[in-house]
Structures are given as C-alpha cells and as structure tokens.
C-alpha cells in the first residue's frame, strides 16, 4: 500500500500530461518539435524508467536534432518515409550501430505521439531498417595476468592504491556491476550463509529493478573476511568499498605490465568467463549476474570461450569405444 501511495503523484502527473497533450493539439496542428516535446514529457513523467534511461532518450533526441536541423520546425504531417530514409543514410555514417538503432526507436516514438494526438495517421519512420550489431570479441587477461595486474595496482604508491586493488578484486570475484558495488554495505555481507545481497541504488535498485543474492566464491569470502578484520569498528551501514571507481589506476597498471587495457565492466566479463571455464553452467552464471533471460545473453557473450580453454576441452572428446 505504501509503495502505491508513493507512486500516486507520479501516476497522476502522467495522466495530467496526457490530457494536456490532447487539449493542446486537438486541432491536429503539430510540428516535429512539438511531438518531440510530448515524447520527452512522457519520458520524464514515466515511473518505470530509471534516470539514466531518461537521460539517454533525451540525448537521442539531441543527436537527431543535430543531424537533421530542419526536421523539428517541419509540420509533422509533411515528413515522408523518403525523408526519414535520407536522414538514416547520412546518420549511420556518423554514429555507432547501437546509437543508430536507439535513434530509430526514438524517432518512431516521436511520430507515435503525433499519431496518438490525431496529427497524422501513419509513422514515416516505421520502415527504417536497424543496423546489425557485431558481437565484440572479449579480450580478457589470463588468471596469471590478472594477479600481476592487481599487484601492480596495489603497489602503485598512491594514497588509495590498496583501496583500488580491493575494488578490482571485489568486482572480479563477485561479478557485480561497478554501479552496484558502491551501494554494498557490511549488512549485505552474510558470512553465515556465504552470500552477498546486491541491492543496487537505494532509489532505482539494480539494472533490472530487482535485488539478488550472490554466493561468495572462496576468494571473495576470504577477501571480505580480511577487510572486515582490518575495519572491525565500522557500522553495518558502512560501504564495503572505500573507492567507487579506479579506471585511471587500471589503465596505468595495464600499460606498466604490458597488458591490454580493461574497464570496470570487463571485470564482470572476467568473472563470468572464469566461472564458466571452472564448470559452472551458464544459466547459473546468468542468475549470479542478475540477468533475467535464462542465460541467453550469457550464451551469446561467453559462448566462445578463450582459445586455451577451448583447446583443453577439445582434448577431452573421444570416439574410442570403452574396453
């Protein structure tokens, strides 16, 4: 009841915005700029979208505006499918496939608002073809390289070098997102049940909107036991990590040991890869990562295991008949 009560103002605001839109454009006159404003107003009023998702949609509108300046002053009824196709031909020369595809979706959603108000009857962007996104091949460090990498970060000599090394280990031993790690407190670490409670942002939760429990692998549990022993007087509400990002430290350490540079998110990929190479099935790894697709994304991302592991597994295959 309390959750519904909290969301009531947002729901009323969303309904009020719809009524205002229909009243403002009841005569059917609307520019593309008007339609974009309606779309963004709806995005901002949404109770289901997270702040970052709202910001991204606004950014897509801005990208479209820059690439097609004359569009927004145009009567929404006068934009044709050929106009949209000409824009797309130019646009896909400038931006990555993922941005192009999201911009197509945003343009369609903008014209959908015009259709809902009766300003036009069809969507000129409905026939635009999305670009094929090539799967990025992961280039991750070996176990040995990773240990050297962490040692280099820890011994760098900066004030927070040890804290940065702890964050790197925490991310790779748990598989949590860097945005989730910053919110994990000692109350989320259950040494009795050997599990970690991943809550995410206090307001928006995790990426999929749900909290999850992740079992602690031995390295993670040992690391947390040692950290807790070093900081016994911290309250349960204190965050486990003392730094929340360490990209510069990672970049410098990788360069120093001659390793390909990696990001915070690559540490999550490394966790998943090591788990699968250690024999954990993909649906289980998927649940640990917080995916809700039953392992489809994991299979797509980690289906091609690293060459050395793949070769080792191939040696286990035999057509010989047992004696």
Q: Is the pLDDT of residue 28 over 60?
A: no
pLDDT at 27: 54
Q: How many domains does the chain have?
A: 2
Q: Among the listed ranges 74-83, 131-140, 161-170, 205-214, which one has the minimum average pLDDT value?
A: 205-214
Q: Is the pLDDT of residue 179 over 60?
A: yes
For the residues 267-286, what does the mean pLDDT come to? 88
Please report the sign of the dihedral spanned by the C-alpha atoms of residue 103, residue 107, residue 110, residue 116: negative
Asked if 193 and 260 sit in the same domain, the reply is yes
Asked if 111 and 149 sit in the same domain, the reply is no
pLDDT at 15: 55
Q: Among the listed ranges 7-11, 158-162, 200-204, 257-261, which one has the minimum average pLDDT value?
A: 7-11
| Residue 46, C-beta contacts closer than 8 angstroms, at least 6 positions apart | 14, 54
Tell me, what DSSP letter sits at residue 31? B
Asked if 262 and 222 sit in the same domain, the reply is yes
Asked if 298 and 150 sit in the same domain, the reply is yes
pLDDT at 224: 97
Q: Among the listed ranges 12-16, 149-153, 245-249, 281-285, which one has the minimum average pLDDT value?
A: 12-16
Residue 258, in any domain of the structure: yes
* Bridge partners of residue 201, in order along the sequence: 205
pLDDT at 3: 42
Asked if 108 and 242 sit in the same domain, the reply is no
Residue 85, in any domain of the structure: yes
pLDDT at 319: 72
Residue 323, in any domain of the structure: no
Residue 26, in any domain of the structure: yes
Q: Which CATH number characterizes residue 249's domain?
A: 1.10.443.10
Asked if 96 and 172 sit in the same domain, the reply is no
Asked if 159 and 285 sit in the same domain, the reply is yes
Long-range contacts of 210-218 (CB under 8 A, 24+ apart): 210/290, 210/292, 212/287, 212/288, 212/290, 214/174, 214/175, 214/176, 214/288, 215/288, 216/174, 217/173
pLDDT at 2: 46
| Residue 106, C-beta contacts closer than 8 angstroms, at least 6 positions apart | 39, 57, 60, 61, 64
Give the tokens for residue 270.
């490394």
Number of neighbouring beta carbons within 10 Å of residue 233: 5
Asked if 96 and 150 sit in the same domain, the reply is no
Q: Which helix (H) or strand (E) holds 57?
A: helix 51-67
Asked if 31 and 180 sit in the same domain, the reply is no
Asked if 250 and 289 sit in the same domain, the reply is yes
Residue 130 burial class via C-beta count within 10 angstroms: exposed 0-12, middle 13-18, buried 19 and up: middle
Q: Is the pLDDT of residue 10 over 60?
A: no
Q: Is the pLDDT of residue 211 over 90?
A: no
Residue whose tokens read 């309904």: 15
Residue 179, in any domain of the structure: yes
Asked if 46 and 160 sit in the same domain, the reply is no
Residue 321, in any domain of the structure: no
Q: Among the listed ranges 128-142, 143-157, 188-202, 241-255, which one has the minimum average pLDDT value?
A: 128-142
Query: Which of the four pLDDT bands, split at 50, 70 and 90, describes residue 4?
Result: very low
Q: What is the mean pLDDT of the chain?
A: 86
Q: Is the pLDDT of residue 1 over 50?
A: no
Q: Among the listed ranges 41-50, 128-137, 173-182, 251-260, which one has the minimum average pLDDT value?
A: 128-137
Q: What is the pTM of this model?
A: 0.69
Contact 281, 298 (CB under 8 A): no
Residue 320, in any domain of the structure: no
Contact 31, 70 (CB under 8 A): no
Residues of the domain holding 9: 2-116
**In this structure, what are the phi and psi dihedrals at residue 12, rounded to the nearest 5 degrees?**
-65, -40
Contact 100, 131 (CB under 8 A): yes
Contact 149, 203 (CB under 8 A): no
Q: Is the pLDDT of residue 5 over 60?
A: no
Asked if 301 and 152 sit in the same domain, the reply is yes
For the residues 95-112, what does the mean pLDDT come to? 95
pLDDT at 58: 96
Residue 319, in any domain of the structure: no
């Amino acid at each position: 009841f309390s959750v519904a009560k909290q969301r009531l103002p947002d729901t009323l605001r969303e309904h009020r915005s719809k009524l205002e839109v229909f009243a403002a454009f009841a005569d059917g006159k609307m520019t593309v700029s008007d339609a974009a404003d309606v779309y963004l107003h709806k995005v901002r009023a949404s109770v289901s979208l997270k702040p970052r998702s709202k910001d991204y949609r606004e950014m897509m509108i801005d990208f479209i505006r820059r690439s097609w300046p004359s569009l927004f002053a145009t009567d929404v009824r006068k934009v044709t499918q050929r106009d949209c196709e000409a824009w797309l031909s130019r646009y896909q020369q400038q931006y990555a496939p993922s941005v192009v595809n999201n911009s197509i979706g945003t343009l369609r959603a903008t014209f959908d608002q015009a259709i809902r108000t009766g300003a036009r009857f069809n969507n000129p962007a409905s026939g635009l073809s999305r670009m094929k996104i090539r799967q990025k091949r992961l280039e991750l460090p070996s176990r040995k390289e990773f240990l050297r990498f962490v040692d280099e970060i820890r011994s760098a000599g900066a004030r927070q070098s040890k804290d940065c090394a702890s964050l790197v280990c925490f991310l790779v031993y748990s598989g949590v997102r860097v945005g989730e790690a910053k919110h994990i407190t000692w109350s989320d670490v259950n040494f009795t049940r050997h599990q970690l409670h991943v809550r995410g942002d206090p307001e928006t939760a995790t990426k999929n909107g749900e909290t999850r429990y992740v079992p602690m692998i031995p390295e993670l549990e040992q690391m947390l036991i040692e950290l807790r022993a070093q900081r016994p007087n911290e309250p349960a509400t204190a965050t486990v990590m003392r730094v929340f990002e360490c990209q510069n430290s990672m970049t410098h350490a990788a360069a120093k040991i001659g390793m390909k540079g990696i990001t915070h998110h690559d540490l999550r990929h490394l966790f998943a890869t090591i788990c699968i190479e250690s024999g954990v099935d993909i649906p289980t790894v998927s649940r640990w990562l917080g995916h809700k697709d039953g392992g489809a994304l994991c299979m797509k991302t980690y289906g091609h295991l690293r060459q050395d592991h793949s070769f080792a597994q191939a040696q286990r295959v035999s057509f010989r008949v047992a004696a």
